Structure 1
């Protein structure tokens, strides 16, 4: 009767797969794989455009035009924001009229100066010292009499004074013209500042104004960036920066799904005094599918080396809810839960904890085996 029960239980065990290996399984005992690794830190970062600028208002006024919305692309030199400049244009027209008047004044003053050099007023026969005599007598006798006997009349001194007066009038007219030209240049600069243009090829990343808004100098208008190439920006603890250098290539992961590499492009020379971190920028490969603002992670070396344990994926115990392996000890196996790390090329798994470097495990254990099971000798 006992022998029949044993046969029946064995038959049920084979059918249900409890405590017995499945037919055709090639389980064997293997040592865990140990390799030297560089200790790394994983830091959060953000995808940013390769270049980014914030355009601000340079003059007060009302926004007359915004070229596009967020995501709109433009070539270098295209108009992005236009502020109403009608008042500036009116002032410019007034200054242009002043320039015409000033140019006419310069021409007249220069003509008077040339006349004084060629035909001095001091020798004009109509400009007598004043005795009411005919001009010919005044010319031949009265002036000489005044210079010799009466004094107070020096023809040379009067001529020099007339020349200086004419020269002064020319300089004043030229100064008025220069002042009007300077006002025109100032207005032209202000009119130019009413238009914000794209400094390079790129796209609008954010808008801070709409058509009809009143803006003041210094007020942000929009954020513009070059997004064909992208970067990662991360705040790195000061202790890790010493092991970094420009040009170093590190591993990166974008949105927890895209594995790639990133090259260190810039390390800020100063640390944040509050958080004690240094901003580091990493160049992403050209054409990488990432959107500015996405979350990313970078793997940075800590400068310390250690050892890591790896096992094949086939060594994981089948049917369990938590990752575990069968560890061989003293001729028997025991089920042990492990904590896994990175996936190595889809074939091996890193074991963070749960195994020691000198232990052996059962690879490819059959479904349904329990602790204590050992693969049969081959």
Structure 2
């Protein structure tokens, strides 16, 4: 290749590189476009039903049904806590019940004896073939009742009956108390096992075999995942545009486009965030997993027509967790500004901006990764290539 040809190639390459540099980052004006105004809301895939299983008694975990994702039928044991101490207490209570039953039988026998053969008329209570007792009954007691007073045989017999009846009542109370303790222990034994309230899978485990737990401590999250939902916090200004069974477009995990149905709208708003929780049903044929991210396109009611603010998607800052753009200020410097995005426009090359930008403002399109406020693109004028040297003859 001659020197002249090499110089021409270098000149063309320099002009091409300069053109690329100019196109890589440029200042553009924010425009508007006629489109239906929509807000893009982030949401999370959740199970159709989800519960948290907690410990009801203290103890050591001795059984776990399986790892996260294990499918269990309704009523299956998910966790089990060691119940050895409860079993020992139950045996002790059973012994107390036996003692209480024996005491009740004895008290009832004594009461029946008092009814049929009062102790106050028992002639065998004294020795001598009952002669002292008979003398006391037929001579001393009538004399005391007639002349001295203060002695009433019927009152004494009634007192003996009342005393025997109170002993029966006490024995019945002791038996009932022991039976109540047995019911309490049986209930605790049932609580030693955490059962699946419905068919589903283990979503999360908080403990393992050998861990010591206390009442109220969460053990696992269990969910029904045959059907799934999206849960989103909708701004209170947009929730009025939604109604039950309404279909909305959505994008799951950034790639799967589908339609979701409004299934539940909470009747109250979060006072700190001013949002309302809304749940959406996902079609069964869509493959998702709890925890996935999804975007829902919620319609907006804007006054003054259907013009929306749009920017190129390439103007968004790269590597940022929140959408932002570099806005050019009057002093020819830039500032980073967070924006709230809407639906895609023009086949995805542009995106609507719900808030953060106004039409007519200037922004930097296609900024390099890693730049921040203050960065401005520089346009380099292509320099003429040096004159080629004469070729050696």
Q: How high is the TM-score relative to the length of structure 1? A: 0.69
User: What's the counterpart of residue 253 of structure 1?
Assistant: 251
Inter-partner Cα distance in structure 1 for 2:285 and 2:198: 19
Residue from 333, 345, 348 that aligns with 1:341:
345
SS of 1:156's equivalent?
Answer: helix
What corresponds to 1:327 in structure 2?
Answer: none
SS state at 1:226 partner? strand
Is 1:236 aligned to 2:234, yes or no? yes
Asked which structure has the greater CA Rg, the reply is 1
Give me the whole-angstrom Cα distance separating, in 2, the residues matched to 1:342 and 1:104. Answer: 90
Query: Which one of the candidate residues 95, 103, 108 is aligned to 2:101?
Result: 103
Please state how far the C-alpha of 1:42 moved relative to its aligned partner. 1.2
Change (3 A) 1:287 1:145: farther
SS at match of 1:101: helix
- C-alpha deviation, 1:142, in angstroms: 3.6
After superposition, the C-alpha distances for 1:307-341 in whole angstroms (9 at most, x for unaligned) are 69xxxxxxxxxxxxxxxxxxxxxxxxxxxxxxx72
Asked if 1:161 corresponds to 2:159, the answer is: yes
- Give the drift of 1:135: 4.3
**Structure 2: how far apart are the matches of 1:196 and 1:45?**
31
Distance in 1 (CA, whole Å) between partners of 2:136 and 2:285 is: 98
SS at match of 2:283: coil
1:1-378 equivalences under 5 Å are: 38-127=36-125, 133-304=131-302, 306=306, 341=345, 343=347
* Offset of residue 174 of structure 1: 0.7
How far is the alpha carbon of 1:287 from its aligned partner?
Answer: 3.5
Q: CA deviation at 1:342?
A: 5.6
Question: Which stretches in structure 1 are left out of the alignment for 5+ residues?
Answer: 1-34, 309-339, 354-378
Q: How many correspondences in the alignment?
A: 283
2-side partners of 1:352 and 1:296: how far apart? 18
Structure 2 equivalent of residue 319 of structure 1 = none
* Cα separation, partners in 2 of 1:99 and 1:352, compared to 1, 3 Å: closer
Summarize deviations over 1:129-168 as a string: whole Å, max 9, x none.
Answer: x9x8444444443432332234332110001101110110
- Measure, in 2, the Cα distance between the counterparts of 1:275 and 1:142: 94
Contact map agreement 1:267 1:279 (CA 8 A) in 2 = yes
- Counterparts of 1:210 and 1:248 in 2: how far apart (Å)? 43
Gaps of 5+ in 2: 1-32, 309-343, 354-393
What SS class does the counterpart of residue 204 from structure 2 fall into?
A: strand
RMSD: 2.6
The answer (yes or no) to whether the contact 1:263–1:284 under 8 Å persists in 2 is yes
- The 1:49–1:95 alpha-carbon spacing in structure 2 relative to 1, beyond 3 Å, is same
Contact 1:47 1:294 in 2 (8 A): yes
Measure the CA separation in 1 of the matches of 2:160 and 2:113. 11
